[in-house]
Structure 1
Amino acid sequence: MTDARAPYASDPRRSRGRRTPEPESLTRTAFQRDRDRIIHSGAFRRLQYKTQVFIFDVGDHYRTRLTHSLEVAQIARSICRLLRLDEDLGEALALAHDLGHTCFGHAGEDALDQRMLPYGGFDHNAQTLRILTKLEKRFAEFDGLNLTFESLEGVVKHNGPLLDAAGKPLKEEPLPVAIVEYMAEQDLELATHAGPEAQVAALSDDIAYNNHDIDDGLRAGLFRLDDLRDLPLVGEVLRGVEAKYPGIGRERTAHETVRALIGRMVTDVTDESKRRLSALAPRTVEDIRAHDRPVIGFSDAMAEQDRALKAFLWSRMYRHDRVNRMTSKARRCVRDLFDLFLAEPQCLPADWARRAEGPGSPKTARLVADFIAGMTDRFAIEEHARLFDISVTT
């Protein structure tokens, strides 16, 4: 394996730079600095108590947003290395991709989005951009983390362009407010694809959460190993593990199956991406941005198998009655907090209350959304008790 970066990889020496110019580091590349700033941010630390499927106190061995982000970063680095891309940028984007998620996973986001509909809605991807460019307040000379263009572009466009060539949104709903506001300050070229490292981070996210949700679902007893046997690819891999390691027990069998599945998916992504890159023959990263489809992706066969796994997890895990009950309580918690803070912003912490405009105003609504989106599961539960249980006084 060569250490040389491919000509179409993002090159930190040719970065489009930062919104606020800074002297270059003598010891780290621009993308390494981005990664380090993400790791040291408050939003990244809070991911340890933000969950994906289970709320934080269900058990210590289930994935949180933090452990998931670390797993995505490991996969992204591996794929970037195999494709001769910039590993540091791929890692930075993987570590940042979930910063904008609310407490209680998608249940919390859905509840917050519903309450924010009159005020422009809530989108976790746009909230990540808001955190990286505005809400983190650590540096003396700027708000946010002042990341490079490539990192901000990758966060916003890792799932593909947001606008068509005429500048119209590709989805039916308008662009999230946070993205529109930031575009007035820096053009992230929303009609093109992101660089290849961002595309790798997006696929790594899929690989990580699908396979690790198998592990968490088995651990929680939401389904059994036998339930996986008829799934394309998963059943094949499971039978191979059992034939190679008979009698090793359920837990080891599950781990070896997930491990082998990740390996198969990573191999498929790298093989398919090499095929697409060879056909396109890009000379620069700009050729990849301008291409009409992603250069990083699953083969058609693997994409179909991945969809089957997603469908299984949707019906057997994400819509399990135990999960439904947790998410129902989580949604009520978020709605209660939002309604109270919007109507009575003086109940916000003092430094937040001072920035409120008044009950029911759009500015106050966005402020409340920022506050709730930053909550961990634990803090949201405790805050709800403090505000709604009259017997709780601290």
Structure 2
Amino acid sequence: MDAPVWTTQPSGALAPYACDPARSRGRRYPEPAAPTRNAFQRDRDRVIHSTAFRRLVYKTQVFLNHEGDLFRTRLTHSLEVAQLGRSIARALGLHEDLVEAIALAHDLGHTPFGHAGQDALNACLHEDDGPAAQEPRGPDEPHGGFEHNLQSLRVVDALEERYPAFDGLNLCFETREGILKHCSRANAEWLEVREPGGVGARFVLGQSPSLEAQLANVADEIAYNAHDIDDGVRSGLLTLEQLEAVPLFDQFRREVLAEFPRLQGRRLLYESIRRMLSAQVYDVIDATRAALRDAGVRTLDEVRASRPLLGFSAGMRQASAELKRFLLVNLYRHPQVLETTARARQVVRDLYRAYCADPTLLPAPRPGVRVSLRRRAADHIAGMTDRYAIREHERLTGQRLFGG
């Protein structure tokens, strides 16, 4: 494949539509500027030093933490998203530190057991039986259900306990905006009441976030596309032969074999994935530049007033969607994965019901925080690692659902 023809912005040069820390909309609690770091660097550092970030090393992606040492975790995934995001940001003249801060924080609110845990906790919060369900929602908690993007925002806004003057990490508006990738209308309106014109406003008004926030979202997708193939093959649930049916991957597998006919196994897999990653990165850069040029966007305000402008070309978007469908059928719905996720859901359900039945099992509520018992239980479970949830479930129920 010929090298793409494009050039990068000069190192350190910000495009006029990029977020500039000197023009940040600021923090909810004013603080003096740091002497050696811009505001977005400071956000990144606060995320890295947070308790929630350290927990990501023992939170799963597809394969649970006890199933192997080399599978991705939420931590390694977040690092890969940050690396991809910075590479693209540099080429587009966006603020790399902001992209990195968003990428490292975007999964802080994820439950143990990946999407299985999230789905189970969401279902629990929608249950309408038992005394805990009759307790009114507290003014400091969102509406019903569990949204992991909103939970990530709750972590950095309220649940982290590090600073004497405020709860949370007191991050900049621009970082918080990027963390809240999706939000239901009801919760967006709840946020808007608590913080008029804040991070919930764009969902109410139908506006777009910054290009840095859009980039962190796309980098998340690119990382998933690559590492779920890698982990799927490593686990033995996917084969290179199966992947020949995926055009986005197979074109690079064939390209690699044309150049290295005797290559096989892991080297063939890794080189094919590397080239697929590069092609997606170059596609996003070229497609975004074209979209910005066609839209005539020159300022951050124009970015927010426009449709989303950062993403794949139409052809790459379709190819990525085909890969996602393949992974859904052949990996995420593989019988071995489904059997494991069924047990994971049981762990979350049993923990939630145990905590709602006996609130003394939960940590004491923080003074001045007004949330229901149900939300306290959900916050506690969402903060757990895979292995802690498994141990806690065994302690409370006497059941051993996972070995090792």
What is the DSSP-based 3-state SS (H/G/I as helix, E as strand, rest coil) of the residue aligned with 2:195? coil
Displacement of 1:262 after TM fit? Answer: 0.4
- Pick the aligned partner of 1:144 from 164, 168, 191: 168
Residue pairs, 1:262-273, within 5 angstroms: 262-273=277-288
The residue aligned with 1:115 is 124
The residue aligned with 1:169 is none
Instruction: Give, as a single letter, the amino acid of the residue that structure 2 aligns with 1:180.
Output: W
Are 2:210 and 1:175 aligned? no
Are 2:68 and 1:59 aligned? yes
Instruction: Give, as a single letter, the amino acid of the residue that structure 2 aligns with 1:300.
Output: A
Rounded Cα–Cα distance in structure 2 between residues aligned with 1:89 and 1:146: 15
Rounded Cα–Cα distance in structure 1 between residues aligned with 2:109 and 2:161: 15
Are 2:195 and 1:185 aligned? yes
- Pick the aligned partner of 2:355 from 326, 333, 341: 341
The residue aligned with 1:233 is 248
The residue aligned with 2:331 is 317
Instruction: Give, as a single letter, the amino acid of the residue that structure 2 aligns with 1:260.
Output: R
What is the DSSP-based 3-state SS (H/G/I as helix, E as strand, rest coil) of the residue aligned with 2:126? helix
> Could you say if the C-alpha distance between residues 353 and 383 of structure 1 is closer, same or farther in structure 2, counting changes exceeding 3 Å?
farther
> Could you say if the C-alpha distance between residues 356 and 139 of structure 1 is closer, same or farther in structure 2, counting changes exceeding 3 Å?
closer
What is the DSSP-based 3-state SS (H/G/I as helix, E as strand, rest coil) of the residue aligned with 2:262? coil
Alpha-carbon displacement from aligned partner over 1:117-141 (angstroms, at most 9, x marks no partner): 1560111011011101000010111
The residue aligned with 1:300 is 314
The residue aligned with 1:166 is none
Alpha-carbon displacement from aligned partner over 1:45-73 (angstroms, at most 9, x marks no partner): 00000001111010000000000000000
The number of equivalent residue pairs is: 371
Rounded Cα–Cα distance in structure 1 between residues aligned with 2:90 and 2:185: 36
The residue aligned with 1:214 is 229
What is the DSSP-based 3-state SS (H/G/I as helix, E as strand, rest coil) of the residue aligned with 1:276? helix
> Could you say if the C-alpha distance between residues 200 and 140 of structure 1 is closer, same or farther in structure 2, counting changes exceeding 3 Å?
same
- Pick the aligned partner of 2:298 from 277, 280, 283: 283
The residue aligned with 2:179 is 155
8 Å contact kept, 1:345–1:353: no
- Pick the aligned partner of 1:84 from 72, 75, 93: 93
Rounded Cα–Cα distance in structure 2 between residues aligned with 1:103 and 1:385: 15
> Could you say if the C-alpha distance between residues 390 and 109 of structure 1 is closer, same or farther in structure 2, counting changes exceeding 3 Å?
closer
Rounded Cα–Cα distance in structure 2 between residues aligned with 1:92 and 1:297: 19
8 Å contact kept, 1:48–1:65: yes
Displacement of 1:390 after TM fit? Answer: 8.4
> Could you say if the C-alpha distance between residues 354 and 150 of structure 1 is closer, same or farther in structure 2, counting changes exceeding 3 Å?
closer
> Could you say if the C-alpha distance between residues 356 and 365 of structure 1 is closer, same or farther in structure 2, counting changes exceeding 3 Å?
farther
Rounded Cα–Cα distance in structure 1 between residues aligned with 2:14 and 2:231: 36
TM-score, structure 1 normalization: 0.90
Instruction: Please tell me the root mean square deviation across aligned C-alpha atoms, in Å.
Output: 1.9
What is the DSSP-based 3-state SS (H/G/I as helix, E as strand, rest coil) of the residue aligned with 1:273? helix
Query: Which aligned runs of 4 or more in structure 1 are off by greater than 6 angstroms?
Result: 353-357
Displacement of 1:267 after TM fit? Answer: 0.4
Displacement of 1:338 after TM fit? Answer: 0.2
> Could you say if the C-alpha distance between residues 139 and 353 of structure 1 is closer, same or farther in structure 2, counting changes exceeding 3 Å?
closer
What is the DSSP-based 3-state SS (H/G/I as helix, E as strand, rest coil) of the residue aligned with 1:303? helix
Instruction: Give, as a single letter, the amino acid of the residue that structure 2 aligns with 1:380.
Output: A
Displacement of 1:175 after TM fit? Answer: 2.8
Alpha-carbon displacement from aligned partner over 1:137-163 (angstroms, at most 9, x marks no partner): 10111101101111111111x35xx6x
Q: Identify the range of structure 1 (232-241 vs 267-276) with the bigger mean alpha-carbon deviation.
A: 232-241
Instruction: Give, as a single letter, the amino acid of the residue that structure 2 aligns with 1:340.
Output: A
Rounded Cα–Cα distance in structure 2 between residues aligned with 1:356 and 1:8: 38
8 Å contact kept, 1:346–1:353: no
What is the DSSP-based 3-state SS (H/G/I as helix, E as strand, rest coil) of the residue aligned with 2:37? coil
Displacement of 1:234 after TM fit? Answer: 1.2
Alpha-carbon displacement from aligned partner over 1:288-308 (angstroms, at most 9, x marks no partner): 0110x1110100000000000
Rounded Cα–Cα distance in structure 2 between residues aligned with 1:299 and 1:356: 46
Rounded Cα–Cα distance in structure 1 between residues aligned with 2:43 and 2:25: 13
Alpha-carbon displacement from aligned partner over 1:343-368 (angstroms, at most 9, x marks no partner): 1111224x3599999xxxx7000000
The residue aligned with 1:93 is 102
The residue aligned with 1:165 is none
Return 5+ residue gaps in structure 1 as ranges. Answer: 163-172
8 Å contact kept, 2:393–2:399: no
Rounded Cα–Cα distance in structure 2 between residues aligned with 1:328 and 1:15: 44
What is the DSSP-based 3-state SS (H/G/I as helix, E as strand, rest coil) of the residue aligned with 1:122? coil
Q: Give the percent of matched residue pairs that are identical in Structure 1 and Structure 2.
A: 49
> Could you say if the C-alpha distance between residues 390 and 233 of structure 1 is closer, same or farther in structure 2, counting changes exceeding 3 Å?
closer
Instruction: Give, as a single letter, the amino acid of the residue that structure 2 aligns with 1:152.
Output: R
Return 5+ residue gaps in structure 2 as ranges. Answer: 1-7, 128-136, 138-143
The residue aligned with 2:45 is 36
What is the DSSP-based 3-state SS (H/G/I as helix, E as strand, rest coil) of the residue aligned with 1:233? helix
Rounded Cα–Cα distance in structure 1 between residues aligned with 2:18 and 2:254: 38
TM-score, structure 2 normalization: 0.88
- Pick the aligned partner of 2:289 from 257, 269, 274: 274
The residue aligned with 1:245 is 260
Rounded Cα–Cα distance in structure 1 between residues aligned with 2:121 and 2:73: 20
